[in-house]
Amino acid sequence: MSSPSPESIAGYLSAMRPFWHPVLRSVDLTDRPIHVVLLTESIVLSRLDGEVSALTNVCRHLGAALTLGDIVDGRVLRCRYHGWQYDRTGRCVDIPLRGEEKIPAQARVRRYHAQERYGLIWLCLADEPQGDLPPYPEFEDPEFHRNELVQHAEWRASVPRLVMAALDDTHFSWVHPDVLGLAGQPRLPQRLGDRPVVVSEAGVLTSRYRTSMPESPMVAESRADRGPLRTVDVEFTNVATVNSMKNVIYSDAGVSVTWNVYQPVSHDRTISFTQLSRTYDQDPAHDGLWEEFNLGIKEQDRAIVESQQPWLLPPLKAQMILYLRPEDIPLVEFQKLMERLDVPQI
């Protein structure tokens, strides 16, 4: 596959910098420094003084990777090469060979904005963060039973491609036959409301529709009279932002939520974090089944998404994607949102 031009890639990476991006599950940051890559920047994460510190992974002395170092007394990050110690703001606070001599003011490494929320560590690489974290009210809602947050293997695709894969609502019977759609019976979902796709000032896109889908194996299992595959009527509310996609499904059984957030490792590499939650079938012993079901769907999508050309979306006006209306309206609206946020396309 031909790569976008270096200018396109640089434009995309720089446009994504002001947003908050997920990079690690909170539980995975303990007493060791951890290496993450965000928008091609190599970053070392540590817990220092009880807070997340995100520093550029290059020691200011001779440039060794700080991820090779150690956390000392839960307070500073020490470089493995000559023992320089950095506090959580990236300031060097000790150079062992210097003893009491003054530490040069330039002895500091770049620090990035970091915060913890929804069980994840989020970073922003720009000086001024833009926008909020994706909305996730179900995280605090006691009605929902939540599975553990899962980090998935990296996909060879850009973040917008992953968001759009989860936003697309006309591929179910093709890619997920008898899982999300009915095999051999493609159907147009019935869009809901006067404006079925709404995009807020804050950059949150909401798409609502009604459709029929196969009953999930988790629900089918709980029924005594198990028979051939049943069809159920459901309503979807999909909520997308620049780097997240939440599918909320309302059925007679209750509400289930698939919350996906995406880490843009580079223009063509993405790591997803997913949390499943639901208001029914709340037995934690069933969590594995739900996880397996979701992973199966993701793997079906993966083959398609990694095949899509080009890596970065072509601009709408180039008409390189032949969108159909009304079928593809949610995708068109998402692309418009990306263009409004100045995330450049190839």
Q: Which is nearer to ligand FES, 101 or 127 (CB)?
A: 101
202: its two tokens: 């804050």
Q: Which of 1, 3, 30, 62 binds ligand FES (CB under 6 A)?
A: 62
Which of Fe ion, ligand FES, none does residue 81 bind to, with CB < 5 to 8 Å depending on kind? ligand FES
Q: Which of 10, 14, 35, 81 binds ligand FES (CB under 6 A)?
A: 81
Q: Which is nearer to ligand FES, 108 or 302 (CB)?
A: 108
Which of ligand FES, Fe ion, none does residue 333 bind to, with CB < 5 to 8 Å depending on kind? none
Which of Fe ion, ligand FES, none does residue 301 bind to, with CB < 5 to 8 Å depending on kind? Fe ion
Based on the shown chain and the rule CB under 6 A, indicate whether residue 110 belongs to the binding site for ligand FES: no
Based on the shown chain and the rule CB under 5 A, indicate whether residue 41 belongs to the binding site for Fe ion: no
Size of the site for ligand FES (CB under 6 A): 8
The one segment of 90-98, 149-157, 187-195, 297-305 that binds Fe ion by CB under 5 A: 297-305
Based on the shown chain and the rule CB under 6 A, indicate whether residue 65 belongs to the binding site for ligand FES: no
Q: Which is nearer to ligand FES, 98 or 210 (CB)?
A: 98
Based on the shown chain and the rule CB under 6 A, indicate whether residue 82 belongs to the binding site for ligand FES: yes
The one segment of 60-68, 110-118, 210-218, 298-306 that binds ligand FES by CB under 6 A: 60-68
118: its two tokens: 């929804």
Q: Which of 87, 301, 328, 333 binds Fe ion (CB under 5 A)?
A: 301
Which 3-state string (H, E, C) describes the chain?
Answer: CCCCCHHHHHHHHHHHCCCCEEEEEHHHCCCCCEEEEECCEEEEEEEECCEEEEEECCCCCCCCCHHHCEEECCCEEECCCCCCEECCCCEEEECHHHCCCCCCCCCECCECEEEEECCEEEEECCCCCCCCCCCCHHHCCCCCEECCCEECCCECCCHHHHHHHHHCCCCHHHHCECCCECCCCCCCCEECCCCCEEECCCCCEEEEEEEEEECCHHHHHCCCCCCCCCEEEEEEEEEEECCEEEEEEEECCEEEEEEEEEEEEECCEEEEEEEEEECCCCCHHHHHHHHHHHHHHHHHHHHHHCCCCCCCCCCHHHCCCCCCCCCCHHHHHHHHHHHHCCCCCC
* CB contact at 8 A, 256 and 144: no
Q: Which is nearer to Fe ion, 301 or 333 (CB)?
A: 301
Q: Which of 12, 19, 20, 84 binds ligand FES (CB under 6 A)?
A: 84
Q: Which is nearer to ligand FES, 59 or 120 (CB)?
A: 59
Q: Which is nearer to ligand FES, 16 or 79 (CB)?
A: 79
Which residues sit at the interface with ligand FES, rule CB under 6 A? 59, 61-62, 64, 79, 81-82, 84
